[in-house]
Structure formats: C-alpha cells, structure tokens
Amino acid sequence: MRKFIFLSAIFTLVIAAAYFSSCKNGKTEQKATNSEDSLKKVQERGNYLVNHVAGCIDCHSKRDLTKYSGPVIPGSEGGGGFAFDQKLAMIPGVVYGRNITPDPETGIGSWTDDEILKALTQGISKNGDTLFPLMPYTNYNHMAKEDLLSIIAYIKTLKPIKNKVPARQLMMPVSMMYPPAGAMQASIDGNIRPPETDKVAYGGYLVNFADCGTCHSPMTQQGPDLSRKYAGGYPFDGGTFKVNSANITTDSATGIGTWTEEKFLTKFTPYREETNYNFVAGKENTIMPLSEMAGMTDDDLKAIYAYLRTVKPISNKVEKWPNK
Ligand code: HEC
Ligand code: HEC
C-alpha cells in the first residue's frame, strides 16, 4: 500500500513536471483566464443577490422616498447613511445603514472576508458590537455559504465612498433585541441552496434572502410579529406618504390567495423600466424596493410565487394607504 502511494506520488510529480514545462506559453494563460472567469461568475451571482434579491443596496444607500418605491440615489450605492427611525419603520430609536463600500476609513475596506461573514451571519461587527437585527443576519444565518461568499466578493468591487455614518441611538440595549438562543446557528457550513428545479424550496430560499417576511409582518411594541409572518400590516411613514404592508398569505379575502402567477409577476416586472418609478409619487407610494426587486429573473419570481402558495392563509384586512 505504502509503495503504491509512493509510486503514484512520483507519477504525479512526473506528470506535473511535464505539464508545467509544456505550459510556458498557451496553457498557463488559459488557466489564468479560467480562474478570472470563475471569479467573474462569483461576482455576477453576488451582484444579482446584492442588487436584486437580498436588498443590501436598498438599505445601505440613500433612497429618494418622494419617487415611486424609493429608488436608490445613483452614486450612493453601499455608502450608507439612510436613517431608519421611529417614524419611518417604528424602530425604537434610529439606526443607519452603514457604509459597506471598500473605503478603508469609513467603510469596510479593512475588513477580512471572515469578519464580513461574521457580520452577515452572526450580526457581530468587526469591533465586536452586536448589530441591530433590522440587518437581516437572522436570515443570512440560514443561507448557503457559497452565496454569502459571492456577496462578499461583489461588495468588494463597489466604488469606495467616503461617508462617515452616524452612530445609532436606541432606547434599549441592542443585546435585548438579539435573537433568542437557538434561533442562530453557530456554523453555517451545513446550509444548502436548494436546486432551482425544486421551485417551492428554492422560492422559500429566495424569500428568506429577500426578507419579505419582516416587512410583511404585523408590527408590535416588541417588533415584527413573526408568528403572523406574511399577514401584513407593518406601518411605514415615508414623510410624503403612509403605507401599510400588504397581506401576502394565501387568504382569498384579505391576502393574495386569488392572485395568478401572472398577476404576481406584474407586481414587479413593470419596474424594469425607469419611467415607471422615476416620478414623484405623492400619497400612493410604497416602501417596497420595487425598482431593485424588478431585476429578479422571471424564473426566480415564479419560484417565489410557488413558495407563497404554500404559506398558510391568515385573515388580516390591511388598508394599504390609510390616508389616501
Ligand atoms: C433591511 C435593511 C438591511 C438590509 C436588507 C441589509 N442590511 Fe446590512 N445593515 C443594516 C443596518 C441598519 C446596519 C447597522 C445596524 C446597527 O447599527 O446596529 C447594517 C450593518 C451591516 C454591516 C456591518 C457594518 C459595520 O460597520 O458594522 C455589514 C457588513 C452589512 N450590514 C452588510 C450587508 C449586506 C452585504 C447585506 C445584503 C446581503 C445587507 N447588509 C443587508 C441594514 C440592512
Ligand atoms: C421594505 C419593506 C418590504 C419588503 C422588503 C417587501 N415588501 Fe412587499 N410590500 C410592502 C408594502 C409596504 C406593500 C404595500 C404597498 C404596495 O403595494 O407596494 C407591499 C406590497 C406587496 C404586494 C402587493 C400585495 C397587494 O395586495 O397589493 C406583494 C405581492 C408583495 N408586497 C410581495 C413581496 C415579496 C414577495 C417580497 C420579497 C421578495 C416583498 N414583498 C418584500 C413592503 C415590503
């Protein structure tokens, strides 16, 4: 046995030597382009998740809430500073989307990949601080590591923005809001991304990535009531408009139980055109980041629809625009 391993090691060395000596010109270059190609693929997946699914850019940029669905202000991508407060989203105080661009002083340019991964999946910042759980680390804690690494690879390509984001001000210690023991896994290594062919499971995976559940839960003094997830009724006040999130359970009377797949898709697809959101919207506006989410592929939107069909109906009548 030993002899065999020894011989095969020599054999490998001989092959390797032959390979490298033959690669002086063409083949090594080929190899370099292959790994550049795979890095590109990883960054593309990250770009898709960051900009269209996981909402990182919505929360970590400045949004113009006077325009329909509050599109991201071009040039502010990842620079942070957008304030979530009591008025906008019933936050007990004010928290700001932080600067996640590679700027070394005001952003996360000096962070290692592991430090970013820890913030994403455990809610612990580089300096050891616990992050306010509006940052959906409870969700990312269940996402596949390969997807999280692609997100990290992509955010490192964002244009660095120098913007020092103010410190959050909360009315209670953030440790009181950290998810209960047991809700967070210590290791994310076992997380899997379901195959896209399993529409319902993959749709559920995307819904968790997009954190549709928090915005679409009724809001209480203790935070979003996740026991009635998707039943809607979270009130938002965008200044020029007030909106309550819709009931997206399968309840026919008060939710989207009667919606066809086609109707569901048209909640998103029109906003692939800039003219459909780049206008001052007045009172019937929404906080749902439609211009970003519209970038999801039809297949992914269909998977999300398939998953939502499996959500139990909850009767909860919501008036979307209370002072229309
Ligand atoms: C719903 C809004 C929201 C979404 C979506 C969101 N974040 Fe955050 N994120 C925040 C807020 C708010 C904070 C700061 C929390 C605090 O101050 O305690 C934060 C903090 C962070 C931090 C820590 C930065 C620091 O300086 O400590 C990183 C890194 C981060 N987010 C990256 C991401 C990435 C990557 C995504 C997408 C996969 C994402 N966030 C999605 C709101 C969000
Ligand atoms: C930032 C908060 C937020 C997020 C994130 C969000 N939504 Fe919404 N959503 C709302 C609000 C507010 C409304 C009501 C206003 C409107 O129709 O846009 C709404 C409306 C809807 C409607 C229309 C229902 C109706 O009866 O008119 C659907 C469908 C929907 N959301 C699905 C989703 C899905 C699926 C996701 C995740 C991929 C999602 N939302 C993420 C806030 C959000």
Residue nearest to atom 40 of ligand 1 (CA): 56
Position 324 scores a pLDDT of 76
From the list 309, 184, 234, 209, the residue with the least C-alpha distance to 226 is: 234
Q: Name the token pair of 245.
A: 């999130």
Low-confidence ranges of the chain (pLDDT < 70): 1-30
Answer whether 72's CB lies under 8 Å from 63's CB. Answer: yes
Atom of ligand 2 nearest to the CA of 234: 12
Compute the chain's Rg from CA coordinates: 23
Gap from CA of 217 to ligand 1 centroid (Å): 20
Position 10 scores a pLDDT of 40
Question: pLDDT tens digits, residue range 70-103?
Answer: 999 999 999 999 999 999 999 999 999 999 999 9
Average pLDDT, rounded, for the chain: 92
Residue nearest to atom 24 of ligand 1 (CA): 98
Gap from CA of 151 to ligand 2 centroid (Å): 23
Position 9 scores a pLDDT of 43
Does the C-beta of 311 come closer than 6 Å to ligand 2? no
Q: What is the rounded CA–CA span in Å between residue 167 and residue 129? A: 12
Answer whether 287's CB lies under 8 Å from 82's CB. Answer: no
Pocket, ligand 1, Cβ cutoff 6 A:
50, 54-56, 59-60, 84, 95, 97-98, 100, 108, 116, 119-120, 125, 131-132, 134-136, 151, 155, 168
Answer whether 299's CB lies under 8 Å from 259's CB. Answer: no
Q: What is the rounded CA–CA span in Å between residue 172 and residue 322? A: 30
Position 239 scores a pLDDT of 96
Q: How many CB atoms lie within 10 A of CB 109?
A: 14
Does the C-beta of 119 come closer than 6 Å to ligand 2? no
Q: Which residues contact 159 (CB under 8 A, 6 or more apart)?
A: 77, 78, 101
Gap from CA of 189 to ligand 2 centroid (Å): 31
Residue nearest to atom 27 of ligand 1 (CA): 125
Q: What is the rounded CA–CA span in Å between residue 292 and residue 212? A: 14
Position 14 scores a pLDDT of 39
Q: What is the rounded CA–CA span in Å between residue 111 and residue 17? A: 38
Q: What is the rounded CA–CA span in Å between residue 251 and residue 231? A: 9
Gap from CA of 311 to ligand 1 centroid (Å): 27
Q: What is the rounded CA–CA span in Å between residue 260 and residue 248? A: 13
Q: What is the rounded CA–CA span in Å between residue 286 and residue 324? A: 12
